[in-house]
Amino acid sequence: MTLQSRLRWLAPGALMAGLLFFAVAGPAQAQENNNRCEGTVTDDQGAPLAGVEITFLQVDKNIYAQPVKTSKKGKYAHNTITPSDYEIRATLAGYKMVQIAALTTKGDGTKVTEDTYIIGGDQKGLHKVHVSPQSRSDATSKGKCVVDFLMASEDRYQEAYHKMAEQKGAKGGQPAAPSGSASEAPGSLAPGTPAAPAAGAPTPTDPLDKGKSLIASRDYAGAVPALKEAVAAKPEDAEAHRWLGGALLQVGNMAEAEPELKKALELDPTFTGANFDMGMLYVKKGRLMQAIPHFEKELEINPGAPSVLQNLAKLYVDTKQYDKAVGIFDQLIATTPDNMENYGLLADCYKQMGNAAKEQEVYQKMGAADTSGMAFYNLGNIMFNKDEKEKAADAYRKAIEQNPEHADAHFQLGMTLVGLGKFKEAVAELETFMKLKPTDRRAAEAKSLAADLRKMGG
């Protein structure tokens, strides 16, 4: 293979659409210090779940290991995880994680993690599961990593969550709260959601107040009977219908939730949160175009509400209304500049609109706020694909300044420097890449290329 053909093979292709925050690692090869993580995935009835994808995100480097899937017996095993802290997540269409039980030990048998975690509606998975290396002094002694998942179908999630949360509470510990909104970011609850009752506060006797108090505590199933009593007592009260509809929505009873929310809007079209809940109902039904007008109306009632803005922006993206999404993401970034997801979504909007200059501008802003190096790495790829190699090299260097262990940035900088004829610098970058990712599929090719460059005077 010639040097020119290798350069064509190694050049970055088109950028991945959507979010571009994490580099995806290829399958690692077995190493002396690799370790095994294994476990089982079952549903809330105890039946094994097959085909569940288990992903491993190395927390300190924001790098994904090759995902694995569960067998017919619901079992999985990953044999090439390197020692580090990981976020481990289970994904299966139509299901949500409810509980994760983790047991990890070091090679000498010392326990690192032994706990059960209840997973809320954000489905973010579990951080800081430590996988320990095999002891080099005793080849038969390995660190242990067992992570078992319990999942529930979407229509059973709320019931399963509350059951597991009660068990967790009885044993001590604080489970993560579930969320029913399209946007699972913090603060995504509907406008007007009541604040949690103060500790030791007496239980309200009025059915509406009791239902709202239970909603504030996220006991949606418990709130439904009280709110039905409130509606029966005051059938023309928009507030009672709104909260009943919202509670029914949270427990997955959309058939009963829809008429309650429609009644609330019929009685008072501007009642805070009713349009939000109706929009969420249509999102859950997959009727996005019907959801949008309700979020737009809610935004008129509650200008600047973060939860409304976030959900509406994502709906615009999902329905390819990128011009409308852009304005909302600009507002969100102005108010929450530390939310990296919004930068990525905004940049992708501009990409879909064919506005490369604005896409680059967003990544520049993101780079100033993000210290992982991924923003400048993505910007470098944009410039590389436009054949603006000097600008690409500058972006890759900035990525490396922020994250010296960003292997892909070293690799792409090396390739860019080859194109600029700076062979000596290119060799140094390629060698750094090989040290950081010795088992990557590109490592052998990078080694061969570096050798050719030295012969050429590099």
Domain chopping of the chain, boundaries? 3-15+345-353+364-455, 26-171, 207-343
With 50 as the cut, is the pLDDT of residue 18 above it?
no
CATH number of this structure's domain 207-343, picked from the four choices 1.20.140.150, 1.10.3470.10, 1.25.40.10, 3.90.1570.10: 1.25.40.10
Q: What is the pLDDT of residue 12?
A: 47
The residue to which tokens 């030295």 are assigned? 454
Measure the CA–CA gap between 363 and 109, rounded to whole angstroms. 45
Q: What is the pLDDT of residue 130?
A: 67
Question: Torsion over CA of 287, 288, 290 and 293, rounded to 10 degrees?
Answer: 160
CA distances from 278 to 221, 243, 244, 260, 295 (A): 19, 11, 12, 10, 8
With 50 as the cut, is the pLDDT of residue 183 above it?
no
Architecture in CATH of 3-15+345-353+364-455: Alpha Horseshoe (1.25)
The whole-number average pLDDT for the span 316-342 is 89
CATH of domain 26-171: 2.60.40.1120
Q: Dihedral of CA 428/433/434/435: which sign?
A: positive
Question: CB neighbours of 425 closer than 8 A, spacing ≥ 6?
Answer: 417
Q: What is the pLDDT of residue 197?
A: 65
pTM score over 0.75: no
Which two tokens mark 397? Answer: 């260097």
Give yes or no on whether 3-15+345-353+364-455 and 26-171 have one common fold: no
The whole-number average pLDDT for the span 85-107 is 84
The answer to whether residues 416 and 396 touch, using CB atoms and an 8 Å cutoff, is: yes
Question: CB neighbours of 21 closer than 8 A, spacing ≥ 6?
Answer: 62, 340, 341, 344, 372, 374
* 214-270 pLDDT tens trace: 888 888 899 999 999 999 999 999 999 999 999 999 888 999 999 999 999 999 999
Average per-residue pLDDT in the chain?
79
The answer to whether residues 343 and 366 touch, using CB atoms and an 8 Å cutoff, is: yes
